Structure 1
Amino acid sequence: MLETTMPALASLEAFGNVTDLLVRRAADAPDHVAFDVPADDPASWRPVTTAAFLGDVRALAKGMMGAGLVAGDRVAIMAPTRYEWAVADLATWFAGGVVVPVYDSSSASQVDAIVHDAGVRLAIAGSRAHADLLTRALVGTDAIGTWAMRGVDGIRSLDDLTGRGTHVTDAELETRRTLAGHHDPATIVYTSGTTGEPKGAVLTHSNFLGQVLNIAAAYREVVTPTGNTIIFLPLAHVLARGLQLICIASGMRIAHLSEPSRVVPALSVLRPTFLVVVPRVLQKIQAAAADKAARMRLGPVWERAVSTAVARGRLAEKQDAGRRSRAPRGLRVRGAVFDALFYSRLRAIMGGRVDYILSGGATLDGALSLFFRGIGVPVIEGYGLTETTAPLTGNLPGRIVSGTVGLPLPGSTVRISPEGEVLARGVGVFAGYRDPRHDAEAFVDGFFRTGDLGRIDDGGRLILEGRMKDVIVTSNGKTVVPARWEGAVEASPLVQHAVMVGEGKPYLSALLILDPAESAAWAASHGSTFATGSPGEVRAIDEPRLRAHLQPTVDAANALVARSEQVRRFTLVLADLDDHELVTPTLKIKRREVLHRAADTIDTLYRGAAS
Structure 2
Amino acid sequence: MINIKPLEKTALIHKGQEISYISLLENIKKYSNILDIKPEDKVAIFSENRPEWIYAFFAVWEKCGVNVPIDFMSSEDELFYILNDSKPAYIFTSKNNKEKVLSVKLKLDYDIKVFIFEEIDFSSQIFENKECKKLEEDLAVILYTSGTTGQPKGVMLNYKNLLSNIKSIEKVEIANSQDSTLAILPFHHSYPLMVSMLIPLHLGATIVFLDELSPQDILDKLKKYKITILIGVPRLYALFHKRIFDKINEDFFIKIVFKLCKKINNQALSKIVFKRVHDIFGGNIKYFVSGGAKLDLDIAKDFQVLGFKIIEGYGLTETSPIVSFNPPYEIKLGSVGKPIEGVQVKIEDDEILVKGDNVFVGYLNKIEETKKAFKNGYFMTGDLGYLDEDGYLYITGRKKEIIVLPNGKNINPEEIENIILKNFDIVKEIAVIQKDNQLFAIIYPDFEVVKKRNIVNLEETIKWNVIDKYNQTAVSYKKIGGFKIVNTELPKTRLGKIRRFMLNQFLEKQERTAVKEEPKTQTYSILKEYLEKYTNLSVYPDSHIEIDLGLDSLGKIEFLTFIESTFGIKLDEKDLIENPTVEKLSYFIDEKKQKIEILEIDWKKILSQPVSFE
Q: Report the residue type matching 1:124 in the other structure.
A: F
Alignment of 1:455-604 (within 5 A): 455-491=386-422, 494-502=426-434, 505=437, 507-514=438-445, 519-527=446-454, 542-545=458-461, 550=466, 554=470, 563-567=476-480, 570-577=483-490, 582-598=491-507
In the alignment, which residue of structure 1 is the partner of 2:123? 163
| CA drift at 1:378 | 0.9
Mean CA deviation greater in 270-279 or 139-148: 139-148
The yes-or-no answer on 1:132 pairing with 2:86 is no
In the alignment, which residue of structure 1 is the partner of 2:200? 247
The yes-or-no answer on 1:276 pairing with 2:247 is no
The yes-or-no answer on 1:431 pairing with 2:361 is yes
| CA drift at 1:72 | 1.7
In the alignment, which residue of structure 1 is the partner of 2:594? none
In the alignment, which residue of structure 1 is the partner of 2:352? 422
Task: State the TM-score, normalized to the length of structure 2.
Answer: 0.77
SS at structure 2 position matched to 1:61: helix
1:155-209 per-position Cα deviation (integer Å, ceiling 9, x unaligned): xx23x1x3245462xxx34x13xx3311111111111111111111001111111
The yes-or-no answer on 1:351 pairing with 2:319 is no
| Partners of 2:138 and 2:159 within 8 A in 1 | yes
SS at structure 2 position matched to 1:574: coil
Distance across 2 between alignment mates of 1:566 and 1:463: 25
Alignment of 1:43-54 (within 5 A): 45-54=16-25
Distance across 1 between alignment mates of 2:109 and 2:40: 16
In the alignment, which residue of structure 2 is the partner of 1:75? 43
Q: Report the residue type matching 1:475 in the other structure.
A: P
| CA drift at 1:587 | 2.2
Q: Report the residue type matching 1:237 in the other structure.
A: H
| Partners of 1:120 and 1:143 within 8 A in 2 | no
The yes-or-no answer on 1:405 pairing with 2:319 is no
Correspondent of 2:69 among 98, 101, 120: 101
| Partners of 1:583 and 1:590 within 8 A in 2 | yes
The yes-or-no answer on 1:36 pairing with 2:10 is no
The yes-or-no answer on 1:214 pairing with 2:204 is no
Distance across 2 between alignment mates of 1:552 and 1:309: 35
In the alignment, which residue of structure 2 is the partner of 1:59? 30
Q: 1:512 to 1:553 in 2, by over 3 A?
A: farther
| Partners of 1:287 and 1:493 within 8 A in 2 | no
Q: 1:372 to 1:473 in 2, by over 3 A?
A: same
Q: 1:271 to 1:109 in 2, by over 3 A?
A: same
| Partners of 2:69 and 2:142 within 8 A in 1 | yes
| Partners of 1:283 and 1:493 within 8 A in 2 | no
| Stretches of structure 2 lacking an aligned partner (at least 5 in a row) | 512-546, 548-614
SS at structure 2 position matched to 1:440: helix
| CA drift at 1:277 | 0.8
Q: 1:509 to 1:503 in 2, by over 3 A?
A: closer
Q: Report the residue type matching 1:215 in the other structure.
A: I
Alignment of 1:324-339 (within 5 A): none
Q: Report the residue type matching 2:452 in the other structure.
A: S
| CA drift at 1:496 | 4.1
Q: 1:490 to 1:93 in 2, by over 3 A?
A: farther
Distance across 1 between alignment mates of 2:143 and 2:293: 19
The yes-or-no answer on 1:265 pairing with 2:211 is no
| Partners of 1:201 and 1:430 within 8 A in 2 | yes
Distance across 1 between alignment mates of 2:181 and 2:62: 25
Task: Pick the structure with greater CA Rg.
Answer: 2
Distance across 1 between alignment mates of 2:468 and 2:306: 26
Mean CA deviation greater in 266-275 or 474-483: 474-483
SS at structure 1 position matched to 2:416: helix
Q: 1:448 to 1:306 in 2, by over 3 A?
A: farther
| Partners of 1:465 and 1:483 within 8 A in 2 | no
Q: Report the residue type matching 2:458 in the other structure.
A: D
Distance across 2 between alignment mates of 1:208 and 1:143: 30
Higher relative contact order (Cα pairs below 8 Å, separated by 6+ residues): 1
Distance across 1 between alignment mates of 2:159 and 2:375: 23
1:344-384 per-position Cα deviation (integer Å, ceiling 9, x unaligned): 23222211111101111111122211111121111100111
Q: 1:275 to 1:549 in 2, by over 3 A?
A: farther
SS at structure 2 position matched to 1:583: coil
| Partners of 2:338 and 2:393 within 8 A in 1 | yes
Mean CA deviation greater in 194-203 or 259-268: 259-268
Matched residues, number: 507
SS at structure 1 position matched to 2:28: helix
Q: 1:422 to 1:246 in 2, by over 3 A?
A: same
| CA drift at 1:572 | 3.6
| Partners of 2:444 and 2:489 within 8 A in 1 | no
SS at structure 1 position matched to 2:486: strand
Q: 1:563 to 1:456 in 2, by over 3 A?
A: farther
Q: Report the residue type matching 1:32 in the other structure.
A: K
In the alignment, which residue of structure 2 is the partner of 1:187? 141
In the alignment, which residue of structure 2 is the partner of 1:118? 86
| Stretches of structure 1 lacking an aligned partner (at least 5 in a row) | 1-14, 39-44, 151-156, 317-326, 530-540, 605-611
Q: Report the residue type matching 1:574 in the other structure.
A: N
| CA drift at 1:487 | 2.4
What's the Cα RMSD here? 2.8
Distance across 1 between alignment mates of 2:226 and 2:426: 29
| Partners of 1:412 and 1:426 within 8 A in 2 | yes
Distance across 1 between alignment mates of 2:10 and 2:284: 18
Q: 1:437 to 1:201 in 2, by over 3 A?
A: same
Distance across 2 between alignment mates of 1:548 and 1:307: 31
Q: Report the residue type matching 1:35 in the other structure.
A: L
| Partners of 2:221 and 2:227 within 8 A in 1 | no
SS at structure 2 position matched to 1:398: coil
SS at structure 2 position matched to 1:59: helix
Distance across 2 between alignment mates of 1:51 and 1:226: 17
Distance across 2 between alignment mates of 1:77 and 1:189: 11
In the alignment, which residue of structure 2 is the partner of 1:86? 54
The yes-or-no answer on 1:396 pairing with 2:350 is no
Q: Report the residue type matching 2:226 in the other structure.
A: R
